[in-house]
Structure 1
């Protein structure tokens, strides 16, 4: 793991992350679920402003580097094997890898009908028929009793992995609340993966993904919804990342000088 702007980030490849989850699902006897988030710049910026969200995100077992800029910073900090693990790709690779394995999935997120459509995508596109249930959470905050009822439903279905596809920070808070009652192996928050895989949102061309400009493509596609967010997130993330790297440099310099 590597610390970036105060959050521990997974510092290996997408393949490593997939293998870790699959191996633990098949071989471990986890009694409480492990929490995984696909962490982008937006979430990092929120965590710097919101102490409660920072606490929740810090409690997650794995924060995957969802964005290329996060990977760049991780490599500058010495994590040379670090690769991008976007929520979209992580979900897809897990579905493909587990299609012939005894690992059951529950899809939780999106508007009405989206998780059901995603279930069909998993069956037809990824060949995975191990989706045991779906649920679309209400837009409002769910009561503790509703969280318990949903958790009992998921537990009764014998799910191993619960996938949460909402916006940040709602999805991380939701996953954290569920984790108190679920008996699954993993709860994974994957943001817009539900919308991308069901075709509701088109993904940026590969070259834009590779150079860290996927956010720009999404902004061009949805300017009204995303302009205000990115107008804040992009400059703030650059600022926080620069401060973080400078602090690391001075810590390293001080240690080597014996200060």
Structure 2
């Protein structure tokens, strides 16, 4: 958190939260890859992804689920009376958010569906962000839209830090209930979310599964071949 406390007073930067869905999107979305490359930090969001990365020799110090990070930031912002620009979420969620965190100075803009493909709507978002100075900017419009939008804000436009938070406001306001702690610890939060919103998430999680298993096997085989070149030659 100290890095964030310092960062909110520096030229604008933003944070992304890699998970399995993001890895799948990164394979074919060039704008998303550019947004990831520009991010100040990439914080692992997935308890499912971390053990896979560790087995491939990629050291991830810890998993910080985006929902947990959002709650910590909101509590801190409320204690300090910070300003928050929120892009996305409904008016009802904003009212609940303000009731739970009354000392946050909240500025809210909710772009229409499909806004990322409408240059005038993207510019409207960017203008709102530029015209409302704040320590924090929350992008709650889903991947890859939120990351692409976050990357379009220049470090010369303003100060503060942006966070791509997905559906975390819904969890923070109680609109959607998070999985029980035991399911989170057992790396089953994804299952709880899928069962809570099957129409929206079942297809996406199935596609993620069909991507991550072959991708992991390929990466493991490549690592084994690099570590055992003699075996590869034989």
TM-score computed with the length of structure 1 as normaliser: 0.77
Aligned counterpart for 1:237 among listed residues 187, 212, 228: 212
Over 3 Å counting, the alpha-carbon distance change for 1:247 and 1:51 in structure 2 is farther
Identify the residue that residue 196 of structure 1 maps to in structure 2: 171
Over 3 Å counting, the alpha-carbon distance change for 1:100 and 1:112 in structure 2 is closer
- Cα distance in 2 for partners of 1:154, 1:56 equals 17
Identify the residue that residue 32 of structure 2 maps to in structure 1: 53
Identify the residue that residue 14 of structure 1 maps to in structure 2: none
Per the alignment, in what secondary structure is the counterpart of residue 120 of structure 1? helix
| 1:136-185 CA-partner distances (Å, limit 9, x unpaired) | 12113254444444434433432121001122112212222344774132
Aligned counterpart for 2:4 among listed residues 2, 16, 21: 21
Over 3 Å counting, the alpha-carbon distance change for 1:152 and 1:167 in structure 2 is closer
Pairwise CA distance, 1:42: 0.8
Contact 1:154 1:182 in 2 (8 A): no
Structure 1 residue runs of 5 or longer lacking an equivalent are 1-17, 124-128, 255-259
- Cα distance in 1 for partners of 2:218, 2:170 equals 34
Contact 2:35 2:151 in 1 (8 A): yes
Per the alignment, in what secondary structure is the counterpart of residue 78 of structure 2? coil
Aligned counterpart for 2:111 among listed residues 108, 120, 137: 137
Identify the residue that residue 6 of structure 1 maps to in structure 2: none
* Corresponding pairs, count: 230
Identify the residue that residue 43 of structure 1 maps to in structure 2: 22
- Cα distance in 2 for partners of 1:218, 1:205 equals 11
TM-score computed with the length of structure 2 as normaliser: 0.84
Structure 2 residue runs of 5 or longer lacking an equivalent are 230-234
Contact 1:151 1:178 in 2 (8 A): yes
Contact 1:162 1:184 in 2 (8 A): no
